[in-house]
Structure 1
């Protein structure tokens, strides 16, 4: 994972898989789209235009995700970061929106941003007297941003449309957990449709397009399942305090560590308070490579929380043990 920069304190990262999809998009544009719309050009120019269009595509994806993140901050929802990966991008929200209205606003702003980018590119394409290459790139960005916006409105969690559906169900029922369960099931249904369409395309000879649809479907299926499982975990851990699940500091040293020292050694992201919710420890553990977070009370180190502590708490509360750190990350 490579951190590029920060926006309002939000880290923007690129996953290693992003370089694969960037190369594939560039290759697809250089070998297919641009030779069709710009005939009799050099191979180098096709690759240059393909790389430029791919950069602008992922800039559009970044703006889509940034709009989610900024809307979340405006609704007092902490944001862990924005990551560009092989399937596009994701904004990591470290808490659920406080109300159905907040969920709706955070979800809908992404597709609206994609549609706005498409509209801007369309206006530039129609109003400016640029080169043929300029209009080819602008036309591509119009189409691709419309596709991104429409696809994200499909009502399957965790797509934006699924989050909009969850907000509506949450408002109607008053229960976030129930709304998440229904929206996640819709997400699984959407994923299965994509997998079936991908398999059909493979059978009809479109190997690359078909395999890609299958992979996207599998990704959404896993994301929908994980979203529901994390919601179940969250519902249980929010009822517990860190002091209820922590392993107390060993007495063999017969000493306490000052908070300043703990902060220097561990960093704020590796420290929780005894009265914090166990869910807070869950989130911080997911971002900690050491496999534990320190519990600090006042000026004293009083214990630690490990993955085993969280697994034991979930087993006791009916969720069952799972690889918590992996799901939190």
Structure 2
């Protein structure tokens, strides 16, 4: 159970490449919206629901006969992820209370994730957003213990409450482990951030602790697999597989957090002018082969469609040019492979750093036209060149 922010985390900041990116990036099935936040369920959740149902049915069978026992076991799977959902929703509500936009809440094979658009502006708010999730689980576990101790309950209800109490206690404590991407890692990040005055220091430290936590999870799983013998041997090996999955999730998340900070270090150094490709201007009716020849003659890396007065009208898509066989290029006009230029695809040549990244996020595309303050075309900025600036981080 994690909450992720900001958008640069785990990938280069250039963003998507077209208008369909949002659909392609959907993390699962859209189940609806709550408080304006889209709720997704990953297909992997259904696999976990089946596994939980099958595994829990063995306990339910002692209380309820089949096939009703499978229904009760499935009810537990739904309630379990209901607890996870409340955990994630608490992150979202707390973030919204601090004015941070929440992109989505997703339930998946390892629990859930809350995607927050921006990181918290202060370590105190970061701490509260991170702590909200585990706190809800611990409160639910406490309520479960209270119900168990005070109310006379039917056997089925008692079984469900006991299971949910244990699950919430486990989820709450597990998420407090002190390493990214877990909530406990966010708490460590906030504490180090407060102590040093730099969020980067907190993220790097919590990321390395997260890697240590991942190794610890793997060692714990190996210990269970080695020392659980006899009837418990199968459970031990299942614990090893599950711990390996959890360890890989934590390791990847921690590594992405460290990498994200290194990416941030490079953002202020980004300059559209330095990354720009020289552009050759041609009219839309010029054959593609001739446009390529002119670009090669000008040592240019991009082709811009312009009218007869030199006013830019469109950008020729590099991928479309590459995909066009050479024998067809004389018979296709450059304008056929171009995309119109709107205001969002025209950027000042001097744009740099965070302003550049924000402009690319605001209007995802593959190429952008760069212009001088007087309106003259300076060149073309390709997203692949921006991504390449972050390669190897």
- Shorter chain as denominator, the TM-score bin is 0.7 to 0.9
Question: Are 1:185 and 2:261 matched, yes or no?
Answer: no
Q: TM-score, normalised to structure 1's length? A: 0.78
Q: 2:358 aligns with which of 280, 284, 302?
A: 280
User: Residue by residue, what CA displacement relative to the aligned partner does 1:190-237 show, whole Å, maximum 9, x if unpaired?
Assistant: 100111111222233311122111111111111110111122213322
Q: In the TM superposition, what are the counterparts of 1:19-34 in structure 2 within 5 Å? A: 19-31=46-58, 33-34=59-60
Deviation, 1:74, is 2.0
Which runs of 5 or more residues in structure 1 are unaligned?
Answer: 258-264, 315-319, 323-329
User: Residue by residue, what CA displacement relative to the aligned partner does 1:131-188 show, whole Å, maximum 9, x if unpaired?
Assistant: 2111111111111101111111111111111110110000001111121111101000
What residue in structure 1 maps to residue 120 of structure 2?
A: 97
Q: 2:158 aligns with which of 111, 126, 135?
A: 135
Q: TM-score, normalised to structure 2's length? A: 0.67
User: Residue by residue, what CA displacement relative to the aligned partner does 1:99-130 show, whole Å, maximum 9, x if unpaired?
Assistant: 11111011111111111222333333344443
What residue in structure 1 maps to residue 104 of structure 2?
A: 81
Contact 1:94 1:283 in 2 (8 A): no
What residue in structure 2 maps to residue 327 of structure 1?
A: none
Question: Are 1:109 and 2:109 matched, yes or no?
Answer: no
* Alignment CA distance shift 1:58-1:307 (3 Å): farther
* Alignment CA distance shift 1:174-1:134 (3 Å): same
- SS at the partner of 1:158? coil
As a proportion of its length, which structure holds more helix?
1
Rg larger in structure = 2
Contact 1:292 1:304 in 2 (8 A): no
User: Residue by residue, what CA displacement relative to the aligned partner does 1:69-122 show, whole Å, maximum 9, x if unpaired?
Assistant: 121122232322111111111111222211111110111111111112223333
Contact 1:234 1:279 in 2 (8 A): no
Question: Are 1:175 and 2:198 matched, yes or no?
Answer: yes
Contact 2:100 2:116 in 1 (8 A): yes
Contact 1:67 1:113 in 2 (8 A): yes
Contact 2:366 2:384 in 1 (8 A): no
What residue in structure 2 maps to residue 68 of structure 1?
A: 91
Q: In the TM superposition, what are the counterparts of 1:283-298 in structure 2 within 5 Å? A: 292=366
* Alignment CA distance shift 1:91-1:309 (3 Å): same
- SS at the partner of 1:81? strand
Question: Are 1:310 and 2:382 matched, yes or no?
Answer: no
What residue in structure 2 maps to residue 217 of structure 1?
A: 247
What residue in structure 1 maps to residue 261 of structure 2?
A: 231
What residue in structure 2 maps to residue 260 of structure 1?
A: none
What residue in structure 2 maps to residue 252 of structure 1?
A: 305
Question: Are 1:4 and 2:31 matched, yes or no?
Answer: yes
Deviation, 1:66, is 0.9
Deviation, 1:284, is 6.5
